[in-house]
A and B are shown apart, each in its own frame.
Chain A
Amino acid sequence: MNHLYLSYPNPGGIFSNPVGYWVIVALAIVFTLFVLLTATAYTVWYERVLLGRFQRRPGPNRVGPLGLLQLAADGIKLATKESFAPAGVDPILYLVGPAVMVAAAFLAWAVIPVGIWWGFSYWISNINVGILFVFAVSSMNAYAILLGGWSSNNKYSLLGGMRAAAQLISYEVALGLSLVPIFIITGSLRLQDIANFSVHWGPYHGPIPLVIVAPLSFVIYMVAATAETNRTPFDLPEAEQELIGGYHTEYSGLKFTLYYLGEYLNMVTVSTLATLIFFAGWHPNAPWFPAFIPFVAKIVGFLFLYIWLRNTLPRLRYDMLMRLGWKVLLPLGMANVVVTAAVVVALTG
């Protein structure tokens, strides 16, 4: 039962029926979509509140209690806006751009497991190359930005799209390399296995956060992941103060919303991955301590970090990011792989 996995009790019945099986998959997809959309919306709310607090202002506090319905108001506003396209856009690619963005962002969640309860986690598909799949689809967002920038018939958008391409090749290699030591240590590319990775250290038996054994991987991953999500200080393709809106200058209404949604969803995705890979995902948990509490708390912690960075740090220039990617992160990542491999071989023989 590799596709829809509910770890206890051993499912049978409805799963052995092909129709029932696909019904369950479809329900799971719908449920995931719903949760993700809500989570993304509240990430936006969380960011606005936090930025407000950082900057000595109240942040959203008018619509609903604590401003919690602000995102509904924003959503309605964006959805009912005139969907305006400037003259001279490439009609097909102009629409494909935002669609690819949001599709890629959601697709990554097909393999990401979510901790729910004691001994119970939830995912749609449990493939054995989970991380590779996540990287494969999440790097698609660079194509979305490139297409949007190119098809908008706007010079600023074009510059933003070109920056996205330059950015992609600078962080992607480092991002992949940063996780190779993890694969060496855990011996698996399956996210569930990595999150459940356990050790027998003297009296201690059980899962550990991998950040302890691979701290350098964590640092490289965090830097590269920030670049992947186009967040400050690497929000070059967007760079409001330089390129107005970069690739989404000419997008409005729902098409803009899709880009916006994709960006925040990517932020949630990389936070979840960091939680699963480096911070032992849903551990620690117990029958009286549901797994979703540590899981969500860790994700929220990473989101906090991203928002904090956005408030504080200036933006890099894109040649600086390329230099950082190729001359700093890549050699560091290589050295990390070699050293980890040597240590693992030395320890395990």
Chain B
Amino acid sequence: MADPHVSPGTAGMTITRQERSPAHEGELLTVNFGPQHPSTHGVLRLVVDLDGEVIRGLRPVIGYLHTGIEKQMEALRWQQGVVVTDRHDYLSPPINNLAYALAVEKLMGIEAPPRAQALRVIMSELTRIASHLVWLGTSSLELGAMGVYMYAFRDREKVLDMNEEISGYRMHTSYIRPGGVMADITPRFANMLETFLKEMPSNIDEYERLLSKNPIWVARTKNIGYLSGQDAIRLGATGPMLRGSGVDWDLRRDRPYCGYDRYSWEVQVRTGCDCYDRYLVRIGEMREALKIIRQALDGLPSGPINVDDRKLLPPPREELETSMEAVIHHFKLFTEGYAPPVGAAYVAVESGRGENGCFVVSDGTHKPRRVKFRSASFVNLQALEQMAIGSMVADLIAIIGTADTVLGDVDR
């Protein structure tokens, strides 16, 4: 939230929300949507002014899931912060890990080895699929289609199983860490991934058969939640919200990281600016993610999965028994941690929801001075009012769904 006392800077722009007259002066019905409402994806609260069922005013109220994650990270050592990043956007932990890890690495001027980068890509894309599946399931359930929900969760379950296999944890993986990744892939993981890659395309076809040409689904999403490309840019929307409005922008291609430029895939762009095209963008992204995983898995480079730096990562277990130096490193790392040089770094990665940026400030100590997440959910939420004014209550549900916000990510 912008501080009203700070004069607007030279960069950026200020968007002021117009104050409306209170509802009771007119013939409007003010309804509280949330924080306890089945379709607000957690604890989003919307104060909605209704004229019949037509929405005349909408004010999002956030803060019900504030967990102080950013502040918490200031009290944790650099390598401990990874664990907390899992938890703000709880539908895409590896991508949050990645943003943080890349920011810390940028600060320290190191780069993860090629094998780690490929593993990071695989996990990020798996996460993107899982996150889109949750989106698909919940937003179709919100529009009344119960079956798709369970089918989408069937496939997400496979991703969670793979998370467990590779990191030991189903949701909060903490798999991607500054300097590399936590563990190498196991043969079982490779098998699971192969099966997943084989089954998934036909499963996505199944979702499309159920929804893409379903007249009711099309009627409920087409021309609903209109957000022009210009407005999307003005409001800072990113991810499928931006690409569904015809703006061709994907950080993976335009600001490549982790070697995304080495894979051949297509950025999904649709020009419909409505819920239906955002749905198609997300379906397309799942297919593209499968392509990327296929290429990353086939061309998985051999070599270490972590930087070879004893100041940053603990020595292997067997070295502790033979090397005094290793013991010292181990002790220092787990009592004090490491300290990046004084400075600040910002790295943004493309999560399922959009630009997930991480800004870290180091004052040269072993704990960050400040960590700030530029979360896609929070910024995309700003477009809600623009999309919803003038539509009906039933459409509001589709519009909340299409914004695909994770409330933990909004409040942090």
Binding site for B on A (CB under 8 A): 51, 54-57, 155-156, 159, 162-163, 232-233, 235-236, 239-244, 310-320
Contact = CB atoms under 8 A, between A and B. Distances in A.
B110 interface: no
A67 B392 CA distance: 40
A55 B50 CA distance: 36
Contacts of B154: 56
Interface in B35-72: 37-39, 50, 52-53
B393 A313 contact: no
Given A156-B31, A316-B216, A240 B38 contact: yes
Contacts of A311: 146-147
Interface of B: prevailing SS: helix
Contacts of A156: 31
A317 B55 CA distance: 14
23 contacts: A51-B146, A54-B147, A55-B149, A56-B151, A56-B154, A57-B150, A159-B31, A159-B393, A163-B53, A232-B144, A232-B146, A235-B144, A236-B394, A239-B394, A241-B141, A241-B143, A242-B393, A244-B38, A310-B146, A313-B214, A314-B220, A316-B219, A316-B220
B359 interface: no
B146 A320 contact: no
A314 B143 contact: yes
B92 to A, nearest CB: 24
Given A57-B150, A156-B31, A313 B219 contact: no
Contacts of B37: 244
Contacts of B50: 159
B38 A241 contact: yes
Nearest to A234: B144
Contact of A312 (B29, B38, B39, B147): B147
B140 interface: yes
Given A242-B394, A242-B396, A313-B145, 6 more contacts: A56-B150, A241-B143, A243-B393, A314-B211, A317-B395, A318-B394
Given A239-B394, A241-B38, A314 B140 contact: yes
Contacts of A242: 39, 393-394, 396-397
A29 to B, nearest CB: 37
B210 interface: yes
B111 interface: no
Nearest to A315: B144
B147 A317 contact: no
B144 A233 contact: yes
Closest 7 pairs between A and B when the two form their complex, measured CB to CB: A315-B144, A55-B150, A314-B143, A241-B142, A317-B394, A314-B144, A314-B145
Interface string B196-219: 000000000000001100101101
Contacts of A315: 143-144, 216, 220, 394
Interface string B374-410: 0000000000000000001111110000000000000
Nearest to A156: B31
Contacts of B210: 312
A50 to B, nearest CB: 11
Contacts of B143: 241, 314-315
A329 B138 CA distance: 32
A318 to B, nearest CB: 7
A156 B39 CA distance: 14
Given A241-B39, A312-B210, A317 B144 contact: no
B308 to A, nearest CB: 46
Interface in B1-51: 29, 31, 37-39, 50
Contacts of A233: 144, 216
A159 B50 CA distance: 10
B39 to A, nearest CB: 5
Most interface-central of A162, A235, A311, A314 (chain B CB within 10 A): A314
Contacts of A235: 144
A241 B144 contact: yes
B144 A313 contact: yes
B138 to A, nearest CB: 9
A155 B216 contact: no
Interface string B296-330: 00000000000000000000000000000000000
A155 B38 contact: no
